[in-house]
Amino acid sequence: MMTILGIETSCDETSAAVVDDGRHIRSNIVRTQKAHEAFMGVVPEIASRCHVESVRPAVQAALSEAGCTLSDIDGVAVANQPGLVGALLVGVHFAKGLAAAAGLPLYGINHIYAHIYAAFLAYGDIALPALAVVLSGGHTVIFRMESVHDYTLLATTRDDAIGECVDKVAKYMGLGYPGGPVVERLAREGRPDAVDFPVARIKGSDIDFSYSGLKTAVIQTVDAGGDIPRADLLASFQRAVFTPVLNSLERLLLRQAGIRSLIFSGGVTANGYLRERARERFTLPVYFPPLKLCTDNAAMIAGLADHSFRRGEPGDYHIGASPRAEWVREKTAG
Ligand code: KG4
Ligand code: ZN
């Protein structure tokens, strides 16, 4: 049995987890930083400071909940890209110190690939190749996934991330932070066809996304006053947010050979409207991890690292942290 300790500090969750064999979650401690709520968005400097305070207690709690000590751990994994670089560095340096002191290999993990791996933690084997969709506060991406080591970027946003768009609209409407859950709750009572928000057309692509125009359109509608009920406005907004994702997937399924499943992950995929529409629209198996694994967590980091460990990758004490990840983009996409 292989046991990996995972650490995740890419944004505003401090998380640590212990995972056996890339499959069995023994503990998954997630401490969400509340300090950002007053600012209606994540403040990077505050995030780093909170991680400094929470990372050691989170790791201790993960070990103790798993009923183990460092001597039971075979490797340490840490998210080192993409994310807020100051926040990532806290996890990376803590993990380096811990791994070096304990003589364990250290793996730097791509946080976005780890989000996709959450579906494998939840459901075990998933038929590949898959189209894998990660929608979060910072990312709006679709990959062709051949294996847990092989991803090709097919679609991304040209401007705002999808969750950023939802959060900014919610903030403008005074709905608090994060915006996603409250938008979904209020939209449930509304008519999705009440307002015809524009679906962005993007130069040179019918696959990529653009969310800044939608954000502006909603803000202008709010500013115009009028008598559109808030629930109708939000239901229409929610439809306009998710329709481009569903449309791009449909087009990609026609163009990409041999796709056997659809995998969704990232905080925005907690959304019930998206889940229902995706299950309605596609006949392929559609996987949505349970909510706790959709949002930022360290179990997905530890789980994915298990595969590097098994391949005999030696680990690296010299890893850095990077705000961006380098993707392999398909030449012919879009
Ligand atoms: O993956 P995540 O926890 O953090 C990162 O951004 O990495 O995603 C957070 C995002 C926020 O924008 C939040 O508003 C959105 O996920 N979100 C939702 C829902 N729950 C969270 N968006 C739409 N519907 C939801 N139910
Ligand atoms: Zn994330």
pLDDT of residue 38: 80
pLDDT of residue 334: 45
Two tokens, residue 45: 């400097």
pLDDT of residue 201: 82
Give the pLDDT confidence of 117-128 residue by residue, as tens digits.
999 999 999 999
Given ligand 1 and candidates 12, 268, 293, which is best to mutate, with the most ligand atoms within 8 Å of its CB?
A: 268
**316 Cα–ligand 1 center, Å:** 31
Two tokens, residue 262: 């659809």
Ligand 1 atom closest to 170 (CA): 14
**95 Cα–ligand 1 center, Å:** 26
Q: What is the largest CA-CA distance in the chain?
A: 65
**194 Cα–ligand 2 center, Å:** 32
Residues of the chain with pLDDT below 50 are 333-334
pLDDT of residue 250: 98
How many residues would you count in the chain? 334
**At 16, which helix (H) or strand (E)?**
strand 13-20
Given ligand 1 and candidates 273, 295, 297, which is best to mutate, with the most ligand atoms within 8 Å of its CB?
A: 295
pLDDT of residue 177: 86
Total Cβ atoms within 10 A of residue 59: 26
pLDDT of residue 203: 87
Total Cβ atoms within 10 A of residue 113: 20
The verdict on the CB of residue 86 being under 6 Å from ligand 1 is no
SS3 284: coil
Give the pLDDT confidence of 62-101 residue by residue, as tens digits.
999 999 999 999 999 999 999 999 999 999 999 999 999 9
The verdict on the CB of residue 213 being under 6 Å from ligand 1 is no
Distance, CA of 194 to CA of 199 (rounded, Å): 15
pLDDT of residue 128: 98
The verdict on the CB of residue 179 being under 6 Å from ligand 1 is yes
Ligand 1 atom closest to 295 (CA): 3
